Chains A and B, each alone.
Chain A
Amino acid sequence: MSDRTSDELPVSAGMPNDDPRPRGEDPVDSDEIDYVAPLEAHAASVADPNAKPILEVRDLKMYFPVKSSGIIRRTIGQVQAVDGVSFQVPEGGSLGLVGESGCGKSTTGRLITRLYQPTGGTINFDGRDISKTSARQLKPLRREIQMIFQDPYTSLNPRHSVGSIIGAPLAIHKVVPRDKILPRVQELLDIVGLNPEHYNRYPHEFSGGQRQRIGIARALTLQPKVLVADEPVSALDVSIQAQVINLLQDVQREFNIAFLFVAHDLAVVRHFCPEIAVMYLGKIVEIADRETLYNRPNHPYTQALLSAVPDVKQAAVGGRRERIRLEGDVPSPINPPSGCRFRTRCPIAQEICARVEPPLLQIGQRHKVACHFAGELGKHPDRPVTAPLLGVDDTGAPDPGATPSPLAANEPGYSDTWYDLERKTMASA
């Protein structure tokens, strides 16, 4: 965005006046909502292949200490909530982060916004590493990276009016003089589709979806470059979800904001994110552009998640209809399984999976997967594709004859060459 120096949000001048609804009224209408596929309302976002990464996360780790109870509280273990995650978010683009509850999605988001101090790794924002920046030095940075929270009922202070909630960032950063705050608040309310005259109402007077809009307005106030949306719609009714997602899509285009969009299922991120990362127990197991991930997922976990999405074309899951049910519960991140963390629930696990951790291997132009038996559903290879690269034999025992290849480095982004699973050689575009 070139005109970021301007304090004015470059909108609302072109508000369409053919809006059939009187804007002064409460946003109550009789819009038909497409209940069958509510997320189809807007065209899917597409990636700009030339966009520079605005955010680059490398080998990010967050271990929470587990303390013993009692007077002397010793650290008796660690929750490996996020364990070596790398990815990029392009300027104005969006990356989806998907996984079951407890896999570390929120923790990743909170690391990027620096609500937490990472245990390890770097967070490169706009050319500088912010992973170790002190709380004081973070203040100017706060304007650039904002967050939308999961629960609209706890993310707004019930004691503050909407005007002071949305105006707070302006007052804190002294961006505009006091008497200009209210007009800006009203402008923001208008942008998120709320009645600008409602600035002196309190959060409890709004519905969940409207509260989430207030949270979005607050996040937009400082015109951030990166927005972390932590399951912004999972607390809302299905009928409202589409509207809020459309709003997010609108503001993304309007203000060229890069999104890290966290969700717990693949259906929600599908239209929002041209690129999606799937997390399991603190690690990324598969990351790819949308088409590849939905049509040719290579990781058994992604395949299981996808089979639970109702409206994905059947071809996507190898023409089979049945849903893949994962056995058992997610293991504890305090004591994750050895080797591949998914092996306790993986339908195709073998001996090597318990011994060696599969590297996140690039297997396509924009496709990485962390599985020894990576392959499309029903076409998983019989022998571990990774064994020769890691210098181990098929059972995972060290193979003295083999030379490990450097392919397995945990780098963010994609390289120009990748390992072709079919031909077992390097390939390039």
Chain B
Amino acid sequence: MTVQASNLESEQLPDPSGAPEGDVSKLAGKSPTRLALGRFRRDKLSMVAFVVVALYILAALSAPFLVKFGVLDPTSFNQELTDPSTGGLPIGKLGGISWEHPLGVEPQTGRDVLSRVWYGLTFSLAIALTATILAIVFGAVLGIIAGFSGGWVDATIGRAIDLTLSFPSTLMLLALSSIGIQLMADILPGTFSDPLPNGAYVVFVLALFGWPGVARIIRGQVLSVREREFVDAAVLLGASRRRIYFKEILPNLWAPILVVFTLTMPAYISAEAALSYLNVGIKPPTPTLGNVLRSSINYSSADFIFFFTPAFLIMIIVVSFNLLGDGLRDALDPKTHR
């Protein structure tokens, strides 16, 4: 054996784990995922955002049960709590806050605001999540196909992306809303005014105009991963195309897909609100964050609490999701491929 000890490098092995010398666990490597988790946990702001997002999801999931068991009551009218002489404003200070109604009641109808926004979280989450999943699945699949195959396939998908992105989507969606909702009502159970067809139309539109952005990002990622030398090394070792795609390239795409996911969610939560403001989407009495916001907008000065509650909630959720996405990107991205 001619390899002498002099070959050993005088470089210090970077030890990101910070484990004490001689620790047995030191020998076991930390996978990039575990490392990213560690980095993420040390990032306080992202952890706060993560907790907020987790609470949001928990609240959204629990709302239907709370409604079922009568804890939340988003639809009952309590008109005795409003004062017709002031145009239906809630009786009492701060929008009628009381033990019964911790965030007060809705003007005119007297419905419980806490119940409405809480239950509204569920529908917002349902819409944003389905739309995000659809956009990501279609976008990622098409982006991966485009990036992998290149040539005319890539060119065709690229044109489709450009075409979709150049559509005046908001206008389209408004102009086609009644036809679209009717179409959804024909396919899905429910009538023209029921939540399901209305929500499905919003999901459809968000996903339809959302996938190209995802596809573009993922295609770029595939191209950049494909350029790295470890792919050439795999080719040289005689790896099959299958192996190269699934074992070498795909594992490097989960991180960007996850980041795109966490950054698309807040975009769609606010998009739902914006669409509700334009009167597209699920209509009252079924609450969504968007339609509660829409009905509150007229009371920005007369009933500030009612106006403030949904707007503030949307802001908190959107900001938290964005912080979470940024934190994930920072945690997943760094030196693993310097």
Report which A residues bind B (CB closer than 8 A). 11-16, 19-21, 26-31, 33, 41, 71, 110, 113, 115, 138-139, 142-143, 145-147, 149-151, 153-162, 168-169, 172-173, 191-193, 197-198, 200-202, 204-210, 215, 218, 222, 237, 239-240, 243, 246-247, 250-251, 253-254
9 new A-B contacts, CB < 8 A, other than A27-B11, A205-B30, are A115-B235, A155-B228, A155-B229, A158-B32, A193-B7, A200-B27, A202-B30, A206-B13, A210-B9
Given known contacts A29-B8, A172-B237, A240-B9, A205 and B3 CB-to-CB distance under 8 angstroms: no
Distance in angstroms between the alpha carbons of A246 and B6 in the assembled complex: 9
Provide the residues of chain B in CB contact with A200, threshold 8 Å.
27-29
Q: Contact: B230 with A157, CB < 8 Å?
A: yes
Stretch at the interface among B86-94, B184-192, B330-338: B330-338
Q: Contact: A158 with B336, CB < 8 Å?
A: yes
Given known contacts A29-B8, A139-B238, A157-B252, A205 and B14 CB-to-CB distance under 8 angstroms: yes
Provide the residues of chain A in CB contact with B2, threshold 8 Å.
250, 253-254
Q: Which residue of chain B has its CB nearest to the CB of A110?
A: B232
Q: Contact: A210 with B29, CB < 8 Å?
A: no
What mask results when residues 23 to 37 of chain B are scored 1 for a CB within 8 Å of chain A, else 0? 000011111100100
Distance in angstroms between the alpha carbons of A169 and B5 in the assembled complex: 27
Provide the residues of chain A in CB contact with B336, threshold 8 Å.
158, 204
Instruction: For the complex of A and B, list the 8 residue pairs with the smallest distance between their C-beta atoms, beginning with the closest.
Output: A201-B29, A155-B229, A142-B238, A159-B251, A27-B8, A158-B336, A154-B228, A149-B229
Residue from the list B9, B230, B240, B251 in contact with A243, Cβ < 8 A:
B9
Q: Contact: A207 with B236, CB < 8 Å?
A: no
Provide the residues of chain B in CB contact with A33, threshold 8 Å.
10
Provide the residues of chain B in CB contact with A202, threshold 8 Å.
29-32, 35
Distance in angstroms between the alpha carbons of A49 and B259 in the assembled complex: 59
Provide the residues of chain B in CB contact with A215, threshold 8 Å.
233
Distance in angstroms between the alpha carbons of A169 and B12 in the assembled complex: 29
Q: Contact: B30 with A31, CB < 8 Å?
A: no
Distance in angstroms between the alpha carbons of A122 and B51 in the assembled complex: 63
Report which B residues bind A (CB closer than 8 A). 1-16, 27-32, 35, 155, 159, 228-230, 232-240, 243, 247-248, 251-252, 335-338
Q: Contact: B29 with A198, CB < 8 Å?
A: yes
Q: Contact: B252 with A197, CB < 8 Å?
A: no
Given known contacts A168-B234, A197-B27, A153 and B337 CB-to-CB distance under 8 angstroms: yes
**Can you report 19 A-B residue pairs in the complex whose CB atoms are below 8 A from each other?**
A11-B1, A21-B5, A28-B13, A30-B10, A33-B10, A142-B238, A151-B229, A156-B230, A158-B32, A158-B336, A158-B337, A168-B239, A172-B238, A172-B239, A205-B14, A205-B30, A218-B233, A243-B8, A254-B2
Distance in angstroms between the alpha carbons of A328 and B28 in the assembled complex: 52
Give the shortest distance, in Å, between B186 (CB) and chain A (any CB).
38
Give the shortest distance, in Å, between A63 (CB) and chain B (any CB).
19
Provide the residues of chain B in CB contact with A193, threshold 8 Å.
3, 7-9
Q: Contact: A198 with B337, CB < 8 Å?
A: no
Residue from the list A142, A143, A154, A222 in contact with B229, Cβ < 8 A:
A154
Provide the residues of chain A in CB contact with B5, threshold 8 Å.
19-21, 29
Distance in angstroms between the alpha carbons of A207 and B11 in the assembled complex: 7
Provide the residues of chain B in CB contact with A138, threshold 8 Å.
238
Give the shortest distance, in Å, between A295 (CB) and chain B (any CB).
29
Q: Which residue of chain B has its CB nearest to the CB of A221?
A: B237
Given known contacts A158-B336, A159-B251, A204-B335, A29 and B10 CB-to-CB distance under 8 angstroms: yes
Q: Contact: B237 with A222, CB < 8 Å?
A: yes
Q: Contact: A27 with B251, CB < 8 Å?
A: no
Residue from the list B6, B27, B229, B233 in contact with A31, Cβ < 8 A:
B6
Given known contacts A21-B8, A27-B8, A147 and B29 CB-to-CB distance under 8 angstroms: no
Q: Contact: B252 with A28, CB < 8 Å?
A: no
Q: Contact: B238 with A14, CB < 8 Å?
A: no
Give the shortest distance, in Å, between B253 (CB) and chain A (any CB).
10
Give the shortest distance, in Å, between A373 (CB) and chain B (any CB).
40
Give the shortest distance, in Å, between B96 (CB) and chain A (any CB).
56
Give the shortest distance, in Å, between A112 (CB) and chain B (any CB).
11
Q: Which residue of chain A has its CB nearest to the CB of B12?
A: A28
Distance in angstroms between the alpha carbons of A54 and B251 in the assembled complex: 38
Distance in angstroms between the alpha carbons of A71 and B240 in the assembled complex: 31
Provide the residues of chain B in CB contact with A26, threshold 8 Å.
13
Q: Contact: B1 with A209, CB < 8 Å?
A: no
Q: Contact: A198 with B10, CB < 8 Å?
A: no
Q: Contact: A250 with B7, CB < 8 Å?
A: yes
Q: Contact: A12 with B1, CB < 8 Å?
A: yes
Given known contacts A16-B1, A71-B155, A156-B230, A209 and B237 CB-to-CB distance under 8 angstroms: no
Residue from the list B9, B27, B236, B337 in contact with A142, Cβ < 8 A:
B236
Q: Which residue of chain A has its CB nearest to the CB of B240?
A: A172
Q: Contact: A28 with B236, CB < 8 Å?
A: no
Give the shortest distance, in Å, between A218 (CB) and chain B (any CB).
7
Distance in angstroms between the alpha carbons of A200 and B28 in the assembled complex: 6
Provide the residues of chain A in CB contact with B31, threshold 8 Å.
159, 161, 202
Residue from the list A155, A201, A222, A237 in contact with B233, Cβ < 8 A:
A155
Give the shortest distance, in Å, between A14 (CB) and chain B (any CB).
5
